[in-house]
Amino acid sequence: MPARPISGLTLAASLLGLVVMFYLGLTGPLWSDPELYYAYSKNFLSGADSGLFLSLYPPFALAYFVFPALFSSDLGGYLGKFEALNMLLFAATAFLVYFFAGRRGLEPRETAIKYAALALPLTNIFLWRYDLLPALLAFGGVILFLGNRRSLGFSALLVAGGLKLFPLLLLPFLFLTYRRKNWRLLAKDFLPPAAVVALLYFWAAQVLSYGRGLIDPLFYHTGRYFQMESVYSSVILAIGALVPSLRPDVAVSLSADIRFSYESALLWLPTVLMAVALLAVYWSAYRSRKTVERDLPAWCALALLAFLVTTKVFSTQYVLWLAPFLPFVLPKEWKFFALCASVFVLTALVCPYLYRGLLAQNSFAILVLLLRNVLLLAVFLRLARVLNVSVPKFGKG
């Protein structure tokens, strides 16, 4: 049954609301990250060593940062082109959401508006970071895969994984859509693009970056402390606000991390919890492998949520990874979408508007951050319940 189109009044009100959100996001405090991208791009174009760059970003990110620099003579021109490029990526993602909604039997305009309502509060984040590109490639890879362009789908996901590591979390679900006896078809679809992307990755890291930093990004998360926006940090900050003797310190280097006396005892806890959460998600998907292809957007969203609620390295832009998938999760439950939208709005409030308050451990800023993380956990648990996720019981048949 085709989806019922939304009314003109609802569409007009929605578009007005999106314009307001875009304006508020655009006029908010901006970040200095593109200045760093510009500096690295100019160093690379002049033949300087970019080894430090690869200790911060995967090698495919270099091409994304260098492209605007090819047409810019100064920082101001670079910033304008970088913003325009990200706006094009936002529009392209919204178009893919619109297109995919029609394929899924959903109302395309309503679904695209849902995506925009999630992403636009973070305008000042996605204009000045590069997470929209891997999110677009990951979502596009899933669409291509479901459209029977499986090799192209794998290629898009693997290239996205060369920009950010999170798209690689989605690969197991694609593998599960193959029947057990179809391992040859899986090898045919996956191994050629994997080999090509691996060679490109090796070339980008070894040749473009003068032989340094090939696997540095793989250790980016394990080598970090508790980042201030993570679920763990919000709880520790809240405890410190209630019990001054347990108040942590805030250290700002690559990002804002918290340091506390019992830190060494908890340093590996996020890794263990992340492994358990992802194992439960993948195991449950394996048990439901006959319907994984049908529910692929929901499983992808769940894996990303499992990462976000268990990682100790949580930056504001990470929630953008979820935005293309969430409109396809429980599309008829407006309460669920309102819960998701609340997470994005609170994220936009926390960073950048309350960020200085968090650095100063202001009680209101901590409360907003804690609420955002509680709601994010609620989204994860709700979706896990819908998909019937459970921890595997080894040794019990």
What pLDDT, on a 0 to 100 scale, did the predictor assign at position 274?
93
What pLDDT, on a 0 to 100 scale, did the predictor assign at position 129?
87
Residue 219 lies inside a defined structural domain of this protein? yes
Residue 131 lies inside a defined structural domain of this protein? yes
Give the residue ranges of the chain where pLDDT is below 50.
Answer: 1, 210-213, 396-397
What pLDDT, on a 0 to 100 scale, did the predictor assign at position 378?
97
Residue 262 lies inside a defined structural domain of this protein? yes
What pLDDT, on a 0 to 100 scale, did the predictor assign at position 212?
47
CA atoms within 13 A on the CB side of 91: 6
Residue 393 lies inside a defined structural domain of this protein? no
Residue 215 lies inside a defined structural domain of this protein? yes
Residue 217 lies inside a defined structural domain of this protein? yes
Calpha distance 128→32 (Å, rounded): 8
Cβ(313)–Cβ(220) under 8 Å?
yes
What pLDDT, on a 0 to 100 scale, did the predictor assign at position 1?
47
pTM, to two decimals: 0.91
Phi, psi of 210 (to 5 degrees): 55, 40
Q: For the chain, how many structural domains are there in total?
A: 1
In sequence order, the β-bridge partners of residue 249 are: 259
Residue 3 lies inside a defined structural domain of this protein? no
What string of H, E and C letters represents the secondary structure of the chain?
CCCCCCCHHHHHHHHHHHHHHHHHHHCCCCCCHHHHHHHHHHHHHCCCCCHHHHCCCCCHHHHHHHHHHCCCCCHHHHHHHHHHHHHHHHHHHHHHHHHHHHHCCCCHHHHHHHHHHHHHHHHHHHCCCCCHHHHHHHHHHHHHHHCCCHHHHHHHHHHHHCCCCHHHHHHHHHHHCCCHHHHHHHHHHHHHHHHHHHHHHHHHHHHHCCCCCCCHHHHCCCCCCEECCCHHHHHHHHHHHHCHHHCCEEEECCCEEEECCCHHHHCCHHHHHHHHHHHHHHHHHHHCCCCCCCCHHHHHHHHHHHHHHHCCCCCHHHHHHCCCCHHHCCCCCHHHHHHHHHHHHHHHHHHHHCHHHHHCCCHHHHHHHHHHHHHHHHHHHHHHHHCCCCCCCCCCC
What are the CA-CA distances from residue 126 to residues 22, 135, 311 (Å)? 11, 11, 21
What pLDDT, on a 0 to 100 scale, did the predictor assign at position 179?
84
What are the CA-CA distances from residue 279 to residues 111, 219, 247, 287, 393 (Å)? 30, 20, 33, 12, 11
Residue 244 lies inside a defined structural domain of this protein? yes
Nearest to residue 261, comparing CAs of 240, 230, 292?
240
Task: Encode pLDDT of 14-24 as tens digits.
Answer: 565 566 656 55
End-to-end CA distance of the chain: 41
Cβ(333)–Cβ(359) under 8 Å?
no
Range of the domain at 90: 31-386
Buried b / exposed e over 130-169, threshold 16 CB at 10 Å, is: bbbbbbbbbbbbbbbbbeeebbbbbbbbbbbbbbbbbbeb
Nearest to residue 351, comparing CAs of 33, 7, 14, 13?
33
Calpha distance 292→288 (Å, rounded): 6
